[in-house]
Amino acid sequence: MTGKILHLFFILILSVQLFANSKADSGDFEKAEKKYQQAKQLRKSGNHSQARFLYEEAFELYTKLNSKQKISDVYNELGISYYTTGEYDKAMENFRLLLKSTGETGNIEDKYLAYLNMGVVYFDLAVYEKAMEFFNKALDIAEKTSNDKKAAALNQIANVFYVWNKHKEALEIYKEALQINTELNHKRGMADNLNNIGNIYHDFDSLNSAYAYYLKSFNIEKELDNNEGMAKSLNNLASILNKQNNPEQAQNLHKQALEINIKLNDFPNIAWTMNMIGKMFFANNQPDSAEYYFLKTEEILKNTGSKELKMDLFLSLSQLFESEGNNSKSYIYYKQYLDIKDSVYTEEASNQIELLKIQYQTQKKLLEIEAVDLENQKLVSEGEIQEQIQQRTSRIARLLLIILGLFLLFSVIIFIRYLRNRRLNNLLLITKNEIIQQKEEIEAQRDEISAQRNNILEQKEIVSIQKEYITRQKTNISESIAYAGKIQQTLLEGYEIPQEHFILFKPRDIVSGDFYWVYKKDFRTIIIAADCTGHGVPGASMSVLGITYLRDLVVKNNIFKPSEILNQLREKIINTLQQKTGTSKSKDGMDMAVVCINSKEKTLSYAGANNPAYIVVKDKNEFLKLNHNFLAKAHITDNSGNKCLFEIKPDKMPIGVYEDNSVLFTNVQIKLSLNEVIYLFSDGYADQFGGKTIEGKKFKYKPFKDLLIENSEKSFREQKEILEKTIENWMKGSGETPFQQVDDILVIGVKTE
């Protein structure tokens, strides 16, 4: 009797303890939930430091309660907070923990969020191939779950295509995502899609269409009271207004966007907005205001890793300082721009994006086929559902009986003391089996290590073979380019200048984008100096095109008027490259100076596309008597006051697509006294960096003119040697490492006789 009373008392105490623990756990969960929701509101309002403090407190309580799903939610919220403030390492760490936690929770939506958010971080870091990989994984999950998730994944995939200038594919996917979000009335996604479609039309210079999409996006964001989205749309609307010559309204919208971003403590978007304001001031000839906003942007970007924004900022700063004549700072920022550009836009990354694009399209087709198969299976299996329900009910009943029997058996075993010995024997047997299992695992690990070592050796051999293959490929490519250089040189040396002359020709690479061309017929001699877009192989390709068309125009069609040569050459280049004014992305072409010396009439005709011509005369007064209507001004005069250099100004338009291709080139005709020296050149000599400062600066045109007029009476062999030695000494600089040649160099000197 006493034993039964004690037993009942023990059960009562245990029940009270369990109830107390349950009440305590319930209270802790309510505290954790309250802190979690407060933190979420603080994050959305921009108070990230206080939000993170509350997230950490909630995390401790969830961990104590072993609430695995709520722990996953905290990882996701912390990742978003760190991403918003540009702390990408910490953001990525929390998203990885979220992905790892799905192994315990089995939550497929969290797995989707982890993949999507990790892709977004890689996107901001300009690691586009990794971003695409994670966006595809997110899309794979979304295809099997819900359409709203599919739309979000499609939007991010389209973003990758957009930054790699694959606008057609990006626009197609953006519109697919917009259709899904519209059908679901998912306004947040619709606003994002509309904004991105506006970006593509903006790039196409379809300003009215872009403005319409941006405005639709802004109205939805305003309806949703989404401050971050409104700021983005305001910035985009401002950029359109500025291009439409409405700078005051554009400035007002930019400042509204900046106020919102500052309120949210959204540092990446603060930097983005300030950079856009700086570019607006620079475009409107307000360099001081532009410099202020650019430098503020640079200060913010020291703590964030947005490579795309840094690249855009450094290029803008380089252009700003160059316009102010501060060449040292211009060079520093341009070098930083090139370093980031080379690290982001590699051929390997581009190829990887193409591969991921194919994977995305293939995966999409497979999922469509799978959907059809599932629909067919559904039709077949509907008749079997009732049978499966009955079988499941029967199995549950049997399982309950088994559990009840085991419980009764366990109760009997507790009171049978002799089974203790058997339990001890079982424990010994288990220990022995564990030892055997550990031994087998160690042996398996040893075999695995041996296999890995063999694999490493095989990989090393493969790398060695690949290195040898790459070396051979590089040698073959170098030999091919060298042979192309010989072909180009043969084309350039096809005709000789009959007058006394020199030609200084220094390609930056083996082949050149600069070229010269000469042709003489009877008493007329055509001399041309040209500078094609780019240098190396791309520039050389344009030079071959130019030489081919010049032969066709001058030799075949007998055209000797310089302005007519330029007009017809421009038409051929535009037609060949399929360029169109205003919409063409191809700005390829060439700058050129053309002179025709008529020894019979003692005249010189000139026309220029961005490239001037210099004439050095011994007797300024005599020259002006012959050419009293000549409008060019004497730029340099020596101590005698009579010898001078005239600069014939070119037309400020290229051989290629331009704002108005109907404008014809101007022809200038000069009478000669047959003791003048004509100089034609590209911009490579004057733009070469060098000098005694560490940063270096451009050689510039004034020292170039001084050099020409000072040595114009020397022999042409001496003039060429002086020009070569001067630019070589300039490039040596003051440090141990000389400056590299930045562009092709071409200078031609010809004496009229």
Q: What is the Cα–Cα distance from 561 to 525, expressed in whole angstroms?
A: 11
pLDDT at res. 403: 65
Taking 70 as the threshold, does the pLDDT of residue 633 lie above it? no
Helix axes 68-84, 48-65, angle to 10 degrees: 160
3-state class (DSSP) for residue 107 = coil
Which of the four pLDDT bands, split at 50, 70 and 90, describes residue 439? low
* pLDDT > 90: percent of the chain: 28
H/E stretch holding 457 reads helix 419-492
Structure tokens belonging to residue 246: 């409405």
H or E stretch including 61? helix 48-65
Number of Cβ within a 10 Å radius of residue 521? 11
Phi, psi (degrees; rounded to nearest 5) at 635: -90, -40
Whether the per-residue pLDDT at 349 is higher than 60: the answer is no
For residues 194 and 35, give the distance between their C-alpha atoms in angstroms, rounded to a whole number. 35
Please give the pLDDT value at position 715: 93
* Weakest mean pLDDT among 370-384, 439-453, 652-666, 671-685: 370-384
Highest mean pLDDT among 14-23, 545-554, 687-696: 545-554
Contact of 675 with 616, CB cutoff 8 Å? no
User: What pLDDT does residue 547 have?
Assistant: 92
- pTM of the predicted model, to two decimals? 0.44
Q: Which phi-psi region, left, alpha or beta, contains residue 283 (left: φ > 0; alpha: ψ -120 to 50)?
A: alpha
- CB-facing half-sphere around the CA of 301: CA atoms within 13 A: 23
- Residue length of the chain: 753
How would residue 366 be classed by pLDDT, with cut points 50, 70 and 90?
A: very low
Task: Note the pLDDT of residue 9.
Answer: 40
Task: Look at residue 709 in the predicted model and tell me its pLDDT.
Answer: 92
| Cα–Cα distance for residue pair 63/519, rounded to 1 Å | 86
pLDDT band at 685 (very low <50, low <70, confident <90, very high): very high
Average pLDDT over residues 554-575: 95
Tell the residue number behind the tokens 């990525």, with chain if given: 92
Residues 6 or more apart whose CB falls under 8 angstroms from that of 352 comprise 129, 132
Q: How far is it, in rounded angstroms, from Cα 35 to Cα 23?
A: 19
Do residues 239 and 251 make contact, with C-beta atoms less than 8 angstroms apart?
no
Mean pLDDT over 401-430 rounds to 65
Is the model's pLDDT at 156 over the cut of 70?
yes
Residue type, position 589, single letter: G
Which of 116-130, 159-173, 457-471 has the least mean pLDDT? Answer: 457-471
Mean pLDDT for 630-638 is 55
Q: What is the pLDDT of residue 499?
A: 82
| Distance from C-alpha of 560 to C-alpha of 565, rounded to nearest angstrom | 7
Whether pLDDT at 679 is above 80: yes
Q: How far apart are CA 236 and CA 212, in angstroms?
A: 11
How deeply is 9 buried, as exposed, middle or buried, from its count of CB atoms within 10 A (0-12, 13-18, 19+)?
exposed
SS3 at position 598: strand
Inter-axis angle of helices 167-184 and 187-203, to 10 degrees? 160
Q: Which residue stretches of 167-246 are H helix?
A: 167-184, 187-203, 207-224, 227-243
Confidence bin at 493 (pLDDT 50/70/90): low
Output 210 or 482, whichever has higher pLDDT.
210
CA-to-CA distance for 706 and 635, rounded, in angstroms?
10
Q: Give 721-727's long-range contacts (Cβ < 8 A, gap of 24+).
A: 723/504, 723/685, 723/747, 724/504, 724/506, 727/506, 727/685, 727/688, 727/690, 727/699
C-alpha to C-alpha distance for 232 and 235, rounded to whole angstroms? 5
- Evaluate whether 504 touches 746 at the Cβ level (below 8 Å): yes
Give 146: exposed, middle or buried? Use CB within 10 Å, 0-12, 13-18, 19+.
middle
Sign of the Cα pseudo-torsion (679, 682, 684, 686, in order): positive
CA 206/CA 572 separation, integer angstroms: 27
Which CA distances in Å does 364 have to 268, 357, 370?
33, 11, 10
Residue among 636, 650, 647 at smallest CA distance from 711:
636
Task: Tell me the CA distances in angstroms from 156 to 25, 152, 351, 358, 727, one per residue in order.
Answer: 41, 7, 19, 16, 50
What is residue 386's predicted lDDT score, i.e. its pLDDT?
A: 62
User: Average pLDDT of 453-457?
Assistant: 76
Q: What does the pLDDT read at residue 560?
A: 96
Cβ atoms of 559 and 553 within 8 Å: the answer is: yes
Q: Chain-wide mean pLDDT for the chain? A: 81
d(CA 51, CA 38): 7
Mean pLDDT of 142-152: 81
If one compares 475 and 589, the residue with the highest pLDDT of the two is 589
* pLDDT band, very low/low/confident/very high, at 648 (cuts 50, 70, 90): very high
| Structural contact between residues 725 and 668, judged by C-beta atoms closer than 8 angstroms | no
Q: How far apart are CA 211 and CA 246, in angstroms?
A: 13
> Residue 565: pLDDT band by 50, 70, 90 thresholds?
very high
Whether pLDDT at 711 is above 60: yes
261-301 confidence digits (pLDDT tens) = 888 888 888 888 888 898 889 888 888 988 999 898 888 88
- What DSSP character marks residue 75? H
| CB neighbourhood size of 28 (10 A) | 16
> Which of the two residues, 700 and 340, has the higher pLDDT score?
700
Residue 650 scores a pLDDT above 90:
yes
Lowest mean pLDDT among 84-88, 95-99, 120-124, 466-470: 466-470
Of the candidates 605, 592, 573, the one whose C-alpha atom is nearest the C-alpha of residue 683 is 592
d(CA 457, CA 256): 61
Beta bridge partners of 608: 593
